[in-house]
Chains A and B, each alone.
Chain A
Amino acid sequence: MAEYLVCPEEEIADGGRKVVACGDKEIGIFRVKGALYAWHNTCPHRQGPICQGRIYPEVVEPVDENCEVRTLQYNENNMHVACPWHGWEFNLETGRNPAGHYRLARAELAVREGQIYVVL
């Protein structure tokens, strides 16, 4: 196994990210609701740079008691990263896409003495 030193823990703030090259692999490290998540920078669709995409809250469309809809809303509890190539979206905590058929490849992280490492 190989271990790559990324940065001190505090360098990735909540809602932030760091996308790094570890040898020939690219990894995106995100902090969501205080926790760190790491994903390979490869979209399962066309192998695009998913971790370099914009981050959006999940879009939801509330249905009222009459089964009617009026607005679109952001659900800040589920943060998504959208692939900049074709817009495929994945939940940053679970790595799953909304339809549930595809998911990002997780990368292992280690945090020791305040430093973040990617373990491959």
Chain B
Amino acid sequence: MDILNKDRARELPVQQIDVFTDTRDILAHANRAAKRRGFEDWLICDVDAHHTETISWHELVQYIEDPVIRHQAMLFHDEKMGTASYGLNGDMGLKYQDVGGRIPHQAGIREKVDDGVHRDVTLSRRAMQALGVDYMVLFPTPMLTLGLHPQPEMEVYLGRAYNRWLIDKVLTKDDRLKTLAYLPFNVPKEAERTIEEFADQPGVIGFCVPSTRHKPVHHNDYMRVYAMLEERNLPIAFHAAYHWQDQSLSTINRFLGMHALGFVWCNMVHMTNWILNGIPERFPKLKSIWVESGLAWIPFLMQRLDDQYLMRPSEAPQLKKLPSEYMRENCWYTTQPMETVNMKALQLTLEMINAETQLLFASDWPHFDFDLPQEIYDLPFLSEQAKRNILGLNAAKLFGLDPAVRKSL
């Protein structure tokens, strides 16, 4: 064999990625991939990324409006030992997302952060730069099960505190960071107050209903909420999650199964009610976004509802077209976690949901099943315009964002 070149290999500074590894090192391959694909001039909006708000819970509780609850919460964090975050419900220790330590960034992000701004600003900026993202929409993480809280007023206290804290500490520090503000959906009057209070706040581009809850989205109590959002041209997002207290899922013993079904089931139920009760007919300009359920469920539900509707139209008398047509024309979807094992199925899915106008790229960073912009760019069956739409232009249009590129790779 002819060896033309002899050189010394350079040892990489990070031999094994762990929870202390810098985000920019974890995502170094993503950054290279972004540069290779020329993302410098592609607008990329990440419509679903996360931060772990409970790391800052001691700070967040200071934004609780109720003085008694605020005082209790502050004392709780100053004095109590060995407890979870004040007032927060959820699956507590049933958090197996990091696959027993195999995916360290899901377990914890403990890298050094000393930029003089809140850690969530720094960490989000690092991820945006690495992924090639221009705008990032931030969602909370443990709070996504707050809709199951036994005290409905706690959702109101904590949801409002979260919105105020996020705006004050994070969104006002970088105008590329946005949020769909937390809507305390279990108390409709408070949801209306939330819209009035936060609709015009910096960084708020819509509102979010965490989907794990047992309230019917078609109840008359919510019609004022939908009307208020429609009047303001602000989207409503249903962000999925899982929870082991759901009786219909309670026999599942592997997190893989719980995650695969839980993150889809809640949105399938809400979507079914949303469509069959004619919410898109009542609020034709209201834009709903279905977040973090992946995409494979949508063709299933479209076919299932169409088939059943045609046999029983008298049970959904408000509909003037097929359920799938509302799902394709009135609803938007975020990509992640995009199912890619069967590319033919994915291609058909994208056709069925009219992805060119309805699909919004989402990374879900830093969660274990995060996606990268390159996954859209590399799809062989999409036109360049469709890719540009999905990666950023659809979101810019939906949220009224400036479509000019903001990043530097």
Of A20, A21, A54, most B-chain CB atoms within 10 Å: A54
| Minimum C-beta distance from B33 to chain A (A) | 6
Q: Is the CB of B15 within 8 A of A82?
A: no
Q: Are A84's CB and B12's CB within 8 A? A: no
Please, how many angstroms separate the alpha-carbon atoms of A79 and B105 in the complex?
22
Q: Does B344 contact A (CB under 8 A)?
A: no
Does B26 belong to the interface (CB within 8 Å)?
yes
- Among B96-104, B114-122, B194-202, B234-242, the one that faces the other chain is B96-104
B102's contact among A1, A7, A53, A118, by CB below 8 Å, is which? A53
With CB as the reference atom, state the residue of chain A lying closest to B372. Answer: A46
A52-B14, A52-B16 known; A3 vs B368 contact (CB < 8 Å): no
Answer yes or no: B269 CB below 8 A from chain A CBs: no
Q: Which residues of A contact B12 (CB under 8 A)?
A: 19-21, 26, 52
Shortest CB-to-CB span from B107 to chain A, Å, is 11
B16 near A4: Cβ-Cβ < 8 Å: no
- Range, interface on chain A: 20 to 34
* Chain A residues with CB below 8 A from B351, complex form: none
Task: Say if the beta carbon of B307 comes within 8 Å of chain A.
Answer: no
Which residues does chain B contribute within 8 Å of A52, judged by CB atoms?
Answer: 12, 14-17
Interface centre among B33, B101, B371 (most CB of A within 10 A): B101
Q: Which residue on chain B has the smallest CB distance to residue A11?
A: B11
Q: CB-CB contacts of B1-34 with A at 8 A, as 1s and 0s?
A: 1111111111110111110000000101100010
Cβ A56 vs Cβ B15 within 8 A: no
Is A23 part of the contact surface with B, judged by Cβ < 8 Å? Answer: yes
Residues A40-94 near B (CB distance < 8 A) = 42, 46-49, 52-54, 56, 82-87, 89
Known: A1-B1, A4-B8, A5-B9. A84 touches B17 (CB 8 A): yes
Inter-chain CA distance A25–B86, complex, in Å, is: 48
| Least distance between B338 CB and chain A CB atoms (Å) | 11
Q: Kindly state the separation between the CA atoms of A46 and B12 in the bound complex, as whole angstroms.
A: 20
Flag if B6 contacts A3 (CB, 8 Å). Answer: yes
**Inter-chain contact A84/B103, CB cutoff 8 Å:** yes
Instruction: Let me know if A86 and B369 touch, CB within 8 A.
Output: yes
In the complex, what residues of B have CB within 8 A of residue A104's CB?
none
Q: Which residue of B lies closest to A56 (CB)?
A: B102
Q: Given A47-B29, A85-B370, A86-B369, are A21 and B9 neighbors across the interface (CB < 8 Å)?
A: yes
Chain A residues near B2: list those with CB within 8 A.
1
> Which residues of the partner chain B approach A49 to less than 8 Å between Cβ atoms?
17, 26, 28-29
Residues facing A in B350-388 (CB within 8 A) are 368-372, 374-375
Pull 10 A–B residue pairs with CB atoms less than 8 Å apart, ordered by A: A3-B5, A17-B16, A20-B9, A20-B10, A21-B12, A46-B374, A47-B33, A49-B17, A49-B28, A52-B14
Closest 6 CB pairs between A and B? A2-B5, A20-B9, A82-B102, A4-B9, A84-B17, A87-B102
Residues of B bordering A, CB below 8 Å: 1-12, 14-18, 26, 28-29, 33, 99-105, 368-372, 374-375
**Which residues of A pack against B, CB within 8 Å?**
1-7, 17-23, 26-27, 42, 46-49, 52-54, 56, 82-87, 89, 118-119
Known: A1-B4, A84-B26, A84-B105. 6 other contacts (CB 8 A): A17-B16, A20-B11, A46-B372, A46-B375, A49-B29, A86-B368
